[in-house]
Every structure is written in C-alpha cells, then in structure tokens.
Chains A and B, each alone.
Chain A
Amino acid sequence: MTEAVTIEARHAVKAFGQGEHVVRALDDVSIQIRKGEFFTLLGPSGCGKTTLLRLIAGFEMPTSGTILLDGADITDLPPNRRPVNTVFQSYALFPHLTVAENIGFGLTMQGRPKAEVKARVAEMLALVKLEAMAGRKVSQLSGGQQQRVALARALAPQPKVLLLDEPLSALDLKLRKEMQVELKRLQTETGITFIFVTHDQEEALTMSDRIGVMSAGKLQQVGSPRDIYTRPVNRFVASFIGETNFLPATVVSGGVRLSTGDVVAVETAAQGAVTLAVRPEQVRIVAAEESGAIVATVRMLVYFGTDTHCHLALADGTEVVARVQSPASGEAGIEEGSTVGIRFASGAAQVLED
C-alpha cells in the first residue's frame, strides 16, 4: 500500500513520575496514520491512547521517540505551531466568548483578515447546523450543541489532522448515536484526517476506517474493523472487542487438539500449547452423533431477545458459550441438560500464541 502518511509516531515513549515510580504511559509505540482516514485509538482507560493523542497535539513531549507530520519532524513544535486541532473531552469552550467567537478563535489567533474569519465562521456554523446560535454564550447551549461548537472550532482553521479525545463520552446514548453519524459525515465532507480516541468498541467498529487497539502503553494491533474483530492477534484484542471463547489446545498435525482430545482443523504456524479463540456466534449446535462434532452438555440457556446464549460444558468441563438465534416461537430445540454436538464455522477459529 502506498497511501500517503499524514501522522507518524516512531518509537514514542512517554514516562511519567520519577525514580521508582516511573510509569510508562506509552511504551515504544510506532504507528502510521494515512491521509484522509478515520483512525480510531481504542483501549481501556489508562492504556495510553490519550497520551499518544496529546503527543500528536503537542501538549506533551515524548520522553523519547519522534512525531512526524507529512514527513517533517514536529516533536519539539509547540501546539500553537502545529496544523493539528483537538476536540477536547470536556469541550474546553471559552465561557467568556460567544459561539461565533469561539469558532473564530483559531483563525483570529493566526491573524487572518476579519472578513475571512467571518466567512469561515458562517461556513462552519452552517456545517454543524448552529446558524441560529452564533451570538449565544456557550453556557446557554445544550451538551450536544456544545459538542458541535467544539467540532466547528477545531475544524475552522482547516487543520491537517483533527484529534478527538473521547468527544462523545459526555452525551447520552441517543445523542451519541446521532453524533456518530454526524462525525462520519463531517469527516467525509471535509476530507480531514480524524484521529478518534475511545474506549467504546462499538463506536470504534462502526465509525473507523482503521483501528489501533492499545493496552498497557503498547499498540496491540492495527487494522480494519473487520480484521480486528475476525483476526485478533492476541488474547487481549480478542477479549476487549466482542465476546470470545478461549479454549486451551495443543498444536498437532492438521490442526489443534483440545483438552477433550477432539481435534479442530485450523491452519497455524505455531507450536506446542496455544489458545483457540472462537466467537460465540461462530459456534454451531448440531446433533451429538454428527461425525466430527464435539460433544457438549447444555448447562444453561440465557434469553437475549433476538439471540439465546447457550452455556455449554465439554466432556472435560471446559466451558463454551454459543450464541444462537432465538426460534420464532416458544422453546428452542435445545434444553438445559441435553447433550448436543458443537462445531466451529469454517475459518472462524483463531489460534493465539500466549
């Protein structure tokens, strides 16, 4: 792939604290973010995703490593000299300024002519559909409106990259869904590279072109939402995004042998003890007698509306969860206590080396 790289971090390390209390918030992270993509940094709180964002914005300096923008080293450049803008988690709107003044702030600071600022502000207000609010103080706006002002303010100076630090976390569920669509629209319309930080896997999966999953200051995996979901590279990624069955296994010729002795056919280059990861929806329930099926006992059925979760126990007691579509009416053909067979959808089982 030869797409142009906008932002690049090379071996970025950020340590906080001194002496014995040093915490490596960012531990040797290298990443390339392409021009015009919607890139999401996903991970639990404290994984280093916000730190990486602050390094890109220039609010923090890396302990070691470099940050590049369009190939130029910007590691030591202060934030006010980087063509990169941020939408803050708390919005950080200036309470003493009006909506229009907030949006025009960046352009004014750059010393652009008044007429240009005015035109650009009007354009931005239209983009986020807040034309009627131009003269209001930000404290008079609702949470969703403040969010839009924050977006417009950060977009107004036409940055090369827009950084969004969990911008939707303060909104309620309904508004969050709306803003997800809105953000995607803005990104497509402006063509600006978005780097979006979130701990919400669903948000990441639905909005992103690519996702970088982070944990403990390290980048675990980078890929498209589909890649990340179907081909997680390790146990952390598999468990953080969606639900997964982890089955202990040993590599044998032609596949892996589970602790029950059953052999599952998968391709792997790994050796010895591994973990087999299978998503619950990829576990098929078949007749116990079917050849090649793994025998299991139904322990418990949990009804979820469209789906039903079957908690199963393999012969040696290993637990497996299967998600099956709830039947149109009444009971499923499966009952608690009954013996069934399970199979994994072809290509759905992943071998993880621990």
Chain B
Amino acid sequence: MAERRFEIARIPGFATIAVATFVMLYLPIAALVTFSFNEGNSVAVWSGFSLHWYEKAWANQAVKDATVRSLTIAVCAALISTTVATLAAMGTTRRAKFRGETFIYVAINQPLMVPEIVTAVALMILFGMVKQATGYQGLGYLILAHSAFCIPFAYLPIRARLEGMDLSLETAAGDLYATPWQTFRHVTLPLLGPGILAGAMLAFVISLDDVIITEFVKSGGQDTLPTYMLGQLRRTMTPEVNAISTALLGLTVVLLTAFFLLTRKRD
C-alpha cells in the first residue's frame, strides 16, 4: 500500500536524531556488556570471548560479601517500604478528601524531590550520633535509610492501581454481607496484588542501585555492590567491574520487564 500522501506529523531530521539518540543510549551499555566477556583485560580492544572476569568476580570474597549485603538490604527495604506504602496508599485514596491529605502526599514523595547528596549528608550526621550513642554499627541504618527512600517508588504504582480499581466492587462486597475486614481480605487485596508486587519490585531495584546514601551511611566494611564498584574506580578499570555491572543490569532488566507486564496486564 504505497500510498502517496502528505505526512502530516513528519518533521525533517527528527527521525534521524531520534534513531541516533537510541543508538547513543544503548551503545555504551552494549560496549560495557560486550567487554565483560573479553578475554584480555582491556575494556576497548576485543581479544576473544571468555567468562574469565565473571569467574574472577565470583571468586572475590569482597564481591560476594557485597552481593549478599546488597540483596539483604534490598529485600528488607522492599518488604518494609512496600508494607508501609500499601497502608499509606489505602489511607490516601478513595475516601473523602481530608485535612492533611496533601501534606501526606507531599511527605511520601519527598525522597523524590530532595537531592540525594543532601539526604545522604543529613543521615550521616544523624546516624553518626546514634552510632556513637548506642555503639550499634550494623546494617540496620542502611535498611532504615533504604526503606525510607524506597517508599515513594512502592507507593506510586500501588496508588495508581487503587485509583484504577472500581470502588463499586467493595461496595458490592459490603452489600453481600462482607465485613470491612472480609472486604479487604477477599476483594481489595487480591485485586491490589499486582500493584503491590510491582511496587515491591521497583523498591527492590531502587535499593539495589543506590550509591550516594549508602556511601555516606555505611559503617566500615559495609560495602554494597555499587559502593564497591565506586571504590574500585581508584584503581585501573578491569572488565571485572563490567562483569558485576552486567550481572546487576541483567537483574534490573528482568525485574523491570516483569514490572511492565504486571502493570500492563490490567486491560
């Protein structure tokens, strides 16, 4: 169907710039992934395929510890932030507007607005005092900090799901003799499930990726994968960092794909 027509929405050059932008966006990531499989220790000259750097990273006790630490923090932060975000989303949607609702909304989204370096410095001071006063140096501080800044990321998809949910379903449940708790248990929660899962996955990804707050809050020897990689920069770059990056990247892409499928499923 090679119809000749005036392409109304075409602006000369735009498609070219757009395609070039996509290439520029993915080329560095492609290079990073490619050279993680490089045989030699260059991240620019290809000398053959090998899983050498993955093995090396895996054999590195520091990397293993950082991985376990990153995952521990991310799982805890995702669980905590998703739980409180679910409650908050239920509190701030689908009820008559009440005094302070806007305040709650702004407060919950505050971590999205404050530059991370400012929060990082503030937490360093506060937790520094607490560390000195209590002597406790554990992962609790990182879990607490991560849980807090993950809240908006968990809250937004759950809220979106709640707002999209037909309020008459819960009305119907009430009409059919369900108590408020039964309504929540048998109607709201099952319908909200995908939203909660999506929120938890976003929170997990965000926690896993955090650099700045972790860098300032961690006690000695508490490197996570990102802070470990940042520390490695002082030495010469080797494909080992590429290998760790690629692994992290793969995990993120898998989770994000799942997230999109979950949120799109809804009609």
Q: Do A and B come from one complex?
A: yes
Most buried by B among A58, A59, A90, A105: A105
On whether A80 and B179 interact (CB within 8 A), knowing A96-B190, A105-B173, the answer reads yes
Question: Which of B171, B172, B176, B182 is packed against the most chain A CB atoms within 10 Å?
Answer: B176
CB-CB under 8 A for A86 and B175, given A96-B190, A96-B191, A109-B182: yes
Report which of B168, B177, B187 forms a contact with A106, defined as CB distance below 8 A: B177
- A153 near B: Cβ within 8 Å? yes
Contact of B171 among A59, A93, A106, A109 (CB under 8 A): A59
Q: Which of B174, B187, B191 contacts A80 (CB 8 A)?
A: B174
Selected from B176, B179, B190, B191, the residue in CB contact (under 8 A) with A105 is: B176
Cβ–Cβ contact A92 & B172, under 8 A: yes
Q: How far is the CB of B265 from chain A (nearest CB, A)?
A: 11
Residue pair B178, A85 in contact (C-beta under 8 Å): no
Pair A80/B178 contact, Cβ less than 8 Å: yes
Query: Residue B122 at the A interface, CB < 8 A?
Result: no
User: What are the interface flags for B148-178 relative to A under an 8 Å C-beta threshold, 1 for contact and 0 otherwise?
Assistant: 0000000000000000001011011111111
Determine the distance from Cα of A90 to Cα of B171 in the docked complex, in whole angstroms: 12
Report the minimal beta-carbon distance from A97 to chain B, rounded to whole angstroms.
8
Query: Does A157 sit within 8 A of B, measured CB to CB?
Result: yes
Chain A residues lying within 8 Å of B179, measured Cβ to Cβ, are 80, 109
Q: Contacts A80-B179, A109-B182, A157-B177 known; A88 to B172 CB distance under 8 Å?
A: yes
Count of chain A residues with Cβ under 8 Å from any Cβ of B?
A: 24
Contact B175 A94 (CB under 8 A): no
B169's closest neighbor in chain A, by CB? A92
Contacts of A85 in B (CB 8 A): 175-176
Interface residues of B in 214-262 (CB under 8 A from A): none
On chain A, the residues within 8 Å of B176 by CB distance are 80, 85, 105-106, 109, 153-154, 157
Q: Let me know if A110 is at the binding interface, CB within 8 A.
A: yes
Interface membership of chain B positions 166-203, coded 1 if the CB is closer than 8 angstroms to chain A and 0 otherwise: 10110111111111001100110011000000000000
Q: Which residue of chain A lies nearest to B266 when distances are taken between CB atoms in the complex? A: A95
Closest residue on chain A to residue B187 by CB atoms: A94
Q: Which residue of B lies closest to A83 (CB)?
A: B177
A109 touching B172 in the complex, CB below 8 Å, given contacts A90-B166, A96-B190? no
Given contacts A95-B191, A96-B190, A109-B182, whether A78 and B169 have CB atoms under 8 Å apart is no
Please, which residue of chain A has its CB at the minimum distance from the CB of B193? A96
Interface residues of A in 91-138 (CB under 8 A from B): 92-96, 105-106, 109-110
Docked Cα-Cα span, A78 to B26, in Å, equals 57
Task: Give the distance in Å from the alpha carbon of A233 to the alpha carbon of B166 in the complex.
Answer: 40
Chain B residues with Cβ under 8 A from A86's Cβ?
171-172, 175
The answer, yes or no, to whether A44 is at the interface (CB within 8 Å) is no
Interface digits, B89-116 against A, CB 8 Å rule (1 contact, 0 not)?
Answer: 0000000000000000000000000000
Partner of B169, one of A58, A94, A157: A94
User: Which of chain B's residues have a CB closer than 8 A to the CB of A80?
Assistant: 173-179, 183
Cβ-defined contact, B191 with A88, below 8 A: no
Instruction: Give CA–CA (A105, B177) in the complex, Å.
Output: 9
In the bound assembly, the distance between CA atoms of A59 and B172 in angstroms comes to 10
Contact call A57/B169, Cβ cutoff below 8 A: no
Cβ of A79 < 8 Å from any Cβ of B? yes
Report if A109-B175 is in contact (Cβ < 8 Å); known contacts: A92-B166, A92-B169, A94-B169: no
Closest Cβ of chain A to B186, distance in Å, is 8
Residues from chain A with a CB closer than 8 A to the CB of B183 are 80
CB distance from A195 to the nearest CB of B (A): 13
Contacts of B178 in A (CB 8 A): 80, 105, 109
Min C-beta distance of A91 to chain B, whole Å: 9
Q: How far is the CA of A109 from the CA of B176 in the complex (A)?
A: 7
List the B side residues contacting A157 at CB < 8 Å. Answer: 176-177
Whether A79 contacts B171 by the Cβ 8 Å rule is yes
Complexed CA–CA distance, A157 and B171 (Å): 16
> What's the minimum C-beta distance from A81 to chain B, rounded to whole angstroms?
8
Q: Tell me how far the C-beta of B189 lies from the nearest C-beta in chain A, rounded to whole angstroms.
A: 10
Closest to A153 in B: B176
Closest-CB distance, B157 to chain A (whole angstroms): 18
A197 to chain B, nearest CB (A): 15
Q: State the CA gap A57–B171 with chains docked (Å).
A: 10
CB distance from A316 to the nearest CB of B (A): 54
Q: Which residues of B contact A94 (CB under 8 A)?
A: 169, 172-173, 187, 191
Shortest C-beta distance, A107 to chain B (Å), equals: 8
**What CA separation (Å) do A153 and B172 show in the bound complex?**
10
Within 8 A of B (CB), among A138-181: 153-154, 157
Q: Which residues of A contact B168 (CB under 8 A)?
A: 88, 90, 92
Q: List 14 contacting pairs A-B, 8 Å CB cutoff, sorted by A.
A: A58-B175, A59-B175, A80-B176, A85-B176, A92-B166, A92-B169, A93-B172, A95-B169, A96-B191, A105-B173, A109-B177, A109-B186, A110-B177, A153-B176
Apart from A59-B175, A86-B175, what 11 extra A-B contacts exist at CB < 8 Å?
A59-B171, A59-B174, A79-B171, A79-B174, A80-B177, A80-B183, A85-B176, A88-B172, A94-B173, A105-B173, A105-B178
Q: Which residues of B are at the interface with A, using a C-beta cutoff of 8 A?
A: 166, 168-169, 171-179, 182-183, 186-187, 190-191
- Closest 8 A-B residue pairs measured CB to CB? A106-B176, A92-B168, A92-B172, A109-B178, A79-B174, A109-B177, A96-B190, A110-B177
- Interface set of A (CB-CB < 8 Å, partner B): 57-59, 78-81, 84-86, 88, 90, 92-96, 105-106, 109-110, 153-154, 157
